[in-house]
Amino acid sequence: MSARTSPASAQSAAAPPFLTEPVEDYLKAIYELETRTGAAATTDVANALQVAPASVTGMIRRLAAQGLLDHVPYRGVQLTEMGRRAALRTIRRHRILETYLTQVLGYAWDRVHDEAERLEHAASDDLIERMSAALGHPTVDPHGAPIPTADGTVDERNHRTIADLTVGETVRMLRVSDKDPELLRYLAEIAMQPGVSITLLQRAPFDGPLTLRVGSGEQVVGSTLAAQVLVESLPVPEASASDAGSPSTRPRSARKSSR
């Protein structure tokens, strides 16, 4: 309270000034809310981190004082460049860890999130880069989420979900949230994994169940599940026209996320 948020001064400093585990988790949560909805509200952060709203206000004050975010009282927060870099660093660690645990140590994809949630704060940059190298520098994690590069670049396009498909459309599954182990277990059961091809065969009215072809099988899923699975159009199904097409739908191209 006594020290007014330091004037300009915090611009080019590249060295991270050591962030605690709670701070890293706040920044990560704010980053994710911000990219989804433009800004992060106190309540949303509180929900994401399972803490009381008053605790969020307190933490926000400290983070703003450190130059990690800008806070307009009653209006929400936005990360500064420094805050964004710190968030992406933690997200990179988290996703490389999840990939490593899955691919090298045989974890099921519904078990990696909790483990990575802790390890992301304890692993050194060196360890993370070694894991990344051991994996051949993967670009997506086991749930299909893009892995930011070490210099803070990440593919941040918004994707459609199965719920957005028109009947008859065939797409490729890209991604699903890593936060709900039960959902992940169920998806694995019905063979819905990133990369699999999905066709919407039928949609019942009034937000009813959707009938899908998933790989070579057929599944009926609810609309809640459908809305959580991100997909992308197949790059020109099997026609001969190979150029025009929808321009922004090339698979997996990294793009600078400079907001």
Residues that bind DNA (CB under 7 A): 1-3, 20-23, 26, 41-44, 49-62, 71, 73-74, 76
Nearer Cβ to DNA (114/218): 114
Q: CA-CA distance, 187 to 175, in Å (whole number)?
A: 11
Task: Name which of residues 157 to 216 contact Mn ion (CB under 5 A).
Answer: 178
Q: CA-CA distance, 92 to 196, in Å (whole number)?
A: 24
Q: CA-CA distance, 56 to 14, in Å (whole number)?
A: 26
| Smallest gap from residue 47 Cβ to DNA (A) | 9
Say which entry of Mn ion, a second copy, DNA, none residue 124 contacts (CB below 5 to 8 A, set by partner kind). Answer: a second copy
| DSSP-assigned letters across all residues of 77-132 | EEE-HHHHHHHHHHHHHHHHHHHHHHHTT---TTTHHHHHHHHHHHS-HHHHHHHH
Nearer Cβ to DNA (64/140): 64
Q: CA-CA distance, 123 to 16, in Å (whole number)?
A: 15
Which of residues 19, 119, 165, 212 is near a second copy by CB under 8 A? 119
Nearer Cβ to a second copy (126/238): 126
* Nearest in space to 63 (alpha carbons), one of 52, 71, 75, 54: 71
| Smallest gap from residue 25 Cβ to a second copy (A) | 13
DSSP state of 40: B
Which of residues 19, 131, 173, 229 is near a second copy by CB under 8 A? 131
Is 224 strand, coil or helix?
helix
DSSP state of 145: P
| Smallest gap from residue 177 Cβ to DNA (A) | 22
Say which entry of DNA, Mn ion, a second copy, none residue 106 contacts (CB below 5 to 8 A, set by partner kind). Answer: a second copy
Q: Binding string, 84-123, against Mn ion, x = CB under 5 A? A: -----------------------------x---x------
| Smallest gap from residue 86 Cβ to a second copy (A) | 18
Q: CA-CA distance, 237 to 234, in Å (whole number)?
A: 6
State the amino acid at position 10 in one-letter form: A
| Smallest gap from residue 20 Cβ to DNA (A) | 3
Which of residues 63, 79, 82, 123 is near a second copy by CB under 8 A? 123
| Smallest gap from residue 41 Cβ to a second copy (A) | 30
Q: CA-CA distance, 231 to 210, in Å (whole number)?
A: 15
Q: Does 108 bind a second copy (CB under 8 A)?
A: no
Tokens of 233: 């159009």
Which residues here bind a second copy, judged by CB under 8 A? Answer: 101, 105-107, 111, 114-115, 118-119, 121-124, 126-127, 130-131, 134
